[in-house]
Structure formats: C-alpha cells, structure tokens
Structure 1
Amino acid sequence: MKEYPVQRAAALKPLPDPDMLVFGKTFTDHMFLMDYTAGQGWHDGRIVPYAPLALEPSAMVFHYAQEVFEGLKAYRSPDGGVQLFRPMENVRRINSSCERMCIPQLPEEDTLAAIEQLVRVEERWVPAKPGTSLYIRPFVIATTPSLGVHAAHDYIFCIITCPVGAYYKEGINPVRIYVENQDVRAVRGGTGYTKCGGNYAASIRAGERAEEQGYAQVLWLDGVHRRYIEEVGSMNVLFKIGGTVITPALTGSVLPGITRKSCIELLKSWGVPVEERLITAEELFDAAEAGRLEEAFGSGTAAVVSPIGEMGWGERHVTVNGGQIGALTRKLYDTLTGIQWGTVSDPFGWTLKL
C-alpha cells in the first residue's frame, strides 16, 4: 500500500471531552493534501498539519462551484483497534461525483491508502465513548485562477477529520419532517446523484423554513412532477408500508447512499421485502392515514439511521408508529452500528481494520 510523506504538527491540540462533541466543529492535528496539474495528473500527496488553504480570489471553485466531497467514519472497536466501514464505496462514489463535475478521477487504491494513513496518524482522535466516531471528509476543489465557465486545470484533493458524537440532538429519537412544496433539490440529468456543495446550498432555504415550523428535516419531492418522494434532508429515506420496505429508486436525482445500500442488503438478508421504486407523497400520506405506514426512517453516514415520528404536508399531519422508533428501524440501527463499532459480527466483510 502506498505510503505518503508526513509532516508532523509542531504541537498537538488537546483532545475534546467525548461527552461534549458537536458534529463538525473540532478538527484534528493533520490533513491530507494532493495536487492535480493538467499534463501531470495527481501528484505530491502528503500529510501535513491542519491549516488554512491559500487560494487566489479567482480560484474557480469560488465562482463556478467545481467541487465534490465525501463523508465516512472511523470507529473504535472494543479491542481498542480502529476500523472503517465500506471505505472503497466512498472512494468510488467521489469518483462518480468527479466524473459528473468534470474533475479528474482520483486513483482508487491511492485514495483509500490516503484515508487509511491519515486515520492512523490521527488515531488518538478516534473516540472510544459509545456512539462517537471520527468523521472523515475527503473533498476536491478547483483552484485554477481563472474567470470563465470551463473545467479547471488545477485541483486540490484534501481530507480533514473531526471527532463527532450524535448528528441530531434528538439522537436516535424520532424526528419531525415536512414535505417541501416550493423548492426542489435536484432534477434527473442534474447533479442530484453526486455529493457536490451546490446540492446542499440549494437545500438550505427549505431547511430554514422547516426549522422555523419546528421540523428537523425537509422531505424533498422530485423536481419535475413535484409528486414523488426523493430524499429527507441530507439522507436517503425508507418507509415500511404493509410489511414491505419502500425506498425511492435511484433515478439520477437521488444520492446512492452507502448506508442506504447497506440497509437494503441487511433487510434482504433478513427476508424483509424491499422495493426500490417511485412513491408519491399522496401514497405515503394515504398509507399513514389508513394505518399501513408502520415505520419511516432516514439513512446516512452522519446519523446512520434516523427514525421519523411525524410528517407534515400542507394541512395534512400524520404520526408514524405512535411517534416511537419502530422495531425494524431499531434492528437496523443496532446492527449497522454494531458492525461499524465491532460489537457484532460482520458477515458481509464491510469493515476494514487498520
């Protein structure tokens, strides 16, 4: 496996209190950097002290948003070791995002090696308290100093890490979500299936409106018909209706979530029927009002599985499973987090021990 040169920080930061971790606020001592130059390709990978990046004001990322990112975690296992969860899936997905955003592909094995090595360098930052982890954020930005709508010639690939606790303050308790009728997140043929910042920037206004009404997340509809459920906030979404788990199909405007994929594979291994298809908001709320919507939950790296206890859509408001986490949702959460933290067996070979 490739080894990159390491420049150690002159002084190490104090570790934060594991009981006081806030998602995405405290960053570790080091980061990974690698440059891309047209004609030379990706080069000069290295681990250096965490520090600001020096960019020209004309760097193309600021003006044309040519950038992509990923998110994964490192977990402290009971034996004191550290492991990753399906990291190659993240490497392949960032390359899928790169292809759509006209960014040069990252070498897969070298990218995985960079993630592994940075986590090993920062191992003391991987918290051991149950429910905590080290969040890993790889990203690529266009750095060519040029004003003009075309692909850049220069890029930086960077990986930063931060210790995290629960993503939602509600923890594993069910959240309230609201169907967004005004804004749309993505359309087929656009960038909805990628992890690019523009997708998330476009979601902020709706999220603010939902929060003002006391909801934790937005339930997005498709951008063309404004009928079909797509995602919930920054997560995929799944519904158990009449014993079958239904999740929106990957039509090009929905992110192919790695946690989503893992949930589907777990459910099928348990013999639970799963359908990946179009589902309208009307079908969903009709099922809820008829008592057939048994459970609902979001899935994603940050929150893993987040149960939904209440949904609003215009004047219609429904409660899911009495506002409590469902048995299947709980089983998925316990199994996934157990595999991730190494407290239950991993029959799928999803974990990578460092």
Structure 2
Amino acid sequence: MTTEQSPLMMAAPPSTLAALDASKLRVTRNLKPAELPNPDNLQFGKNVTDHMLQVQWSESHGWHEPQIVPYGNLSIDPTAGVFNYAFECFEGMKAYKDAQGRPRLFRPEVNIARLNESAARVALPTFDSTAFLALLSEFVAMESRHIPSIRGYSLYLRPVLIGTNPGLSVSPPTTALLYVVASPVGSYFKDGTKAITLEAANSSQWVRAWPGGSGCHKVGANYAPCMMAEAWVRQRGSDQVLWLFGEHNLVTEAGTMNLFVVIRRPTGDRELVTPPLDGTILPGVNRDCVLRLAREKLEGHGWVVRERSISMGELEATAVAGNLEEVFGTGTAAVVSPIGSIRWEGREISCGTSSVQESVATKMRKWIEARQYGEDEHEWSVLVDGLDHAKSPEAKL
C-alpha cells in the first residue's frame, strides 16, 4: 500500500482557496458527558462518544474553521447531493490504549490517504493530510476516556465526507462537510475469533465491484447494493458473502474483508495468497499489514507470499487435494477473522486443517494487535498527544 497521490488528485490544479488548518480548531465541550457503557454490553457501532469533529468546505472559500462540538444531529437540505447522487465517502480506523493508558492510532496516515483517494473519486474536496491527522489526534485525546482499557477493545473512528449543497442538478458538490464520530467497540463478531462461514456468489447472481468502477474506494455506494446479497446468504445459514467476479469466478472480497488463502505446495513450502489490487478490491490497511508481516516474518522460512488471482475452481481443487491449509479475512473492524468453510454451488468446501494455535490467522492477529496496543513498539503505532492549541480559549459554551 502506498500513500502517493492518485492521478485523479495529481490532476487537480493548484488552489488559492483556504487549506485545512488545524491551528484554527475551536472546541465546544459537552456539558453533559455520557456515562461510560459496560464493555461487556458493547455492540459494534451502537455507542457514541461525547463529541464530534467537523469542518465545512465551500467552493468559494475552501476549508473553514474546524470545530469539535457536542455529538448531535446534522441539519442538511433534503436535496443535498449526498442524498440524491451519493456524494459520500468514509473511513474506518481505530484508537487503542496501551498498557500505560496512553491512546494510540494505528497507521492513520494510510487511512487518511485512502480517504483523500476516495474523495477525489467522487468529486469531493481533498485536504491536507498532516492537518487532518493533527485534528484527529486532538479529537482522540478529548475522547480517550471512551477507549476501554482492555485488550481486544478500541475506539472505532468514522471520518465521513459528504456533499451538502442543495439542488437537484447532477454536478459536483459546491459545499461539503467533513466530520468524525467515534464509538467504543469490542470484537466485531459476536463469537470473537470463531471461524465464520462464507457463501460464494458468482457475478451472474451478484456483483460487488467491476473494472473501472469504485470498488477500490471506500464510498457508501459500494455498500447498500450488497445488503440484499448479505441477507440472502444469512437466510441460507452463512455469515458473509464471498464475492466472485467474471467467467472464471475469481475470488475478490469476503463480505467487507480482504481474503487470504494458505496453500501447501508440492515442494512442502507454503504459499500465502491474496487477490491483487486490480481496481475491484479495497486496499485494506490490515491487508497491507498481513502482507508486510508475512514478508518480514514468514518469507525465507518455507513461505512464498503472493498477490495473484485465485479462482473458486482452484480453491476447491486445492481443498479436495488436501492442500488448502487455511482461509482468513482481514479488515479494520474484525482485524483477522478465520474462515471455517465456503459454500459454493451446493457444495461445502472445508477451509483447512491447521490448528487454531498454529494458524497464520492467529499469528497475524497476535502480531498486529501487539503493534496496535504498543506492546511491539513500531512506526505503525502513533502515540496521540493533545495539540498545543487545545490549551487555547474554547469556543463559547
């Protein structure tokens, strides 16, 4: 994964409009902070923190003064582009507390770069990444009491950028709102690290993404059309959809996760495979973490790490031959999730023979979480410090 600008962003002409400026942040504190929920009762995304970060943008001015304000409803015109033409993108990232109780962000620069890429794809304004990271750090510092001090728990952060100008004309937004809300969370799946079941859907049934589309960007329009397929597989007893594409039924994503496959090769070596970033797959942050960790810790020890296409036919044949050792998914919400089986065309494919203790999924979760919680000091984990301007006079309460 790279943080370099895309051709879309590089093609934008130089702007004389106001840039995003973290030094202008104004804070209005919530005078009625909520009681902290019992961590045992947390449901993913159901609880929110006391505040939200928001910044307006307009075509005539650029980025306006950023604010942290009490959490509350937004007021938006019913004809706004976000409602009618899906001018919207978002991110999913997390903050953690280390053993010393210090809040940390995990690879925030990658999420911020991806948000800018998504914004450019759907004609929304981009912003200075350094300034946004400073604002995000201040927001997390303010909301740090909501981060459970328990391993496996975190504060889920949802940055969102929407087109807000009124009017039914199909044209790029002239005003926009960038905001961030946060939610304390535990495990994404109710049963934690228990293996889940997928049902493969070929592209004659359902299509998540296609070449030249927006499948590699985190935009809302990618998600709503997938809900019927998700409901369909759950009715059939599976947990998530395995999205296939094309006449060869190429594996792409599993639900909202990137997919990894562990294959034992005839030589005795093992191959860790994940589909390539061909424009139909989201470049997941944890996908990149797994690839980097595998090349750091597994390559050279009888492992080959490859980004290549893999079809359902190959996956099934590998399982039948007894060479499919493991399948797992990765994502910000679930981190690493083992896959127990895949249903396809009336058949059930067992996804491996590795024990839980020895599985790559278990190792990857352990290695990633060690860096997320600061146990393994690494550049991926960024300590959150309140900005100097947080000590300046607050906005009128």
Q: Which residue of 2 aligns with 1:237?
A: 259
| Deviation (angstroms), 1:213 | 1.2
Specify every segment of 5 or more residues in structure 1 that has no aligned partner in the other structure, as ranges: none
Preserved contact between residue 65 and residue 198 of structure 1 (Cα < 8 Å): yes
Match of 1:189 in 2: 212
Matched residue type, 2:370: G
Determine the structure 1 residue equivalent to 2:314.
283
Are the structure 2 counterparts of residues 19 and 191 from structure 1 closer, same or farther at C-alpha, using a change threshold of 3 Å?
A: same
Correspondent of 1:251 among 278, 285, 302: 278
Contact 1:21 1:164 in 2 (8 A): yes
Q: Which has the larger radius of gyration?
A: 2
Q: Secondary structure at the match of 1:48?
A: strand
2:368 corresponds, among 327, 336, 341, to 336
1:202 corresponds to 2:233:
no
2:223 partner SS: helix
2:331 alignment counterpart:
300
CA distance in 1, matches of 2:366, 2:169: 49
Tell me how far apart the structure 1 counterparts of residues 225 and 54 of structure 2 sit (CA, whole Å): 28
Alignment root-mean-square deviation, CA: 1.3
Shift of 1:107: 1.3
**TM-score of the superposition, structure 1-length normalised?**
0.97
1:10 pairs with 2:31: yes
Whole-Å Cα distance in 2 between the matches of residues 235 and 327 of structure 1? 18
Partner of 1:221: 244
1-side partners of 2:229 and 2:186: how far apart? 25
- Runs of 4+ in structure 1 deviating by more than 2 angstroms, as ranges, are 321-326
Q: Is the 8 A contact 2:319 2:352 kept in 1?
A: no
Gaps of 5+ in 2: 1-20, 265-269, 385-397
2:360 counterpart letter in structure 1: L
Question: 1:250-293 deviations in whole A, cap 9, x for unaligned?
Answer: 00010000100010000000113211111111111111111111
**Range that drifts further, 203-212 or 225-234:** 225-234
Q: Which secondary structure state, in structure 1, belongs to the residue aligned with residue 141 of structure 2?
A: helix
Distance 1:226 1:72 in 2: 34
**Residue 223 of structure 2 aligns to which amino acid in structure 1?**
Y
CA contact (8 A) 2:198 2:239 kept: yes
Q: TM-score, normalised by structure 2?
A: 0.86
Write the deviation string for residues 108-140 of structure 1: whole angstroms up to 9, x where unpaired: 111111111100011110111221100000010
Please tell me whether residue 145 in structure 1 is matched to residue 166 in structure 2.
yes
2:217 maps to a residue whose letter is T
- For residue 170 of structure 1, report the CA deviation from its aligned partner: 2.1
Partner SS state of residue 130, structure 2: helix
> Which whole-Å CA distance do the structure 2 matches of 1:119 and 1:128 have between them?
14
Q: Residues of 2 paired with 1:346 and 1:233: CA distance?
A: 31
Task: State which of 312, 332, 338 in structure 1 corresponds to 2:343.
Answer: 312
Q: Deviations over 1:272-322 (max 9, x none)?
A: 321111111111111111111101100010000000011110122111225
Once the two structures are superposed, the pairs formed by residues 1-354 of structure 1 within 5 Å of their partners are: 2-3=22-23, 4-181=25-202, 182-222=205-245, 224-225=246-247, 227-242=249-264, 243-270=270-297, 271=299, 272-322=303-353, 325=356, 327-343=359-375, 345-347=376-378, 349-354=379-384
Q: Distance in 2 between matches of 1:133 and 1:180?
A: 32
SS in 2 for 1:80: coil
* C-alpha distance in structure 1 between counterparts of 2:135 and 2:124, whole Å: 19
Q: Tell me the amino acid that sits aligned with residue 162 of structure 2.
A: I
1:314-337 superposed Cα distances (whole Å, 9 cap, x missing partner): 122111225964521111011101
Deviation at 1:338, TM superposition (A): 1.4
In the comparison of the two structures, how many residue pairs are matched? Answer: 351
Does the 8 A contact of 1:133 with 1:165 survive in 2? Answer: yes
Seq. identity, %: 38
Instruction: Specify the alignment match of 2:6 in structure 1.
Output: none
Q: Which amino acid aligns with 2:72?
A: A
CA separation in 1, counterparts of 2:178 and 2:66?
9
2-side partners of 1:202 and 1:109: how far apart? 34
Partners in 1 of 2:127 and 2:236 — Cα distance?
A: 42
Relative distance call for 1:249 and 1:296 in structure 2 (3 A) is: same
Residues 5 and 47 in structure 1, CA contact (< 8 A), matched pair in contact too: yes
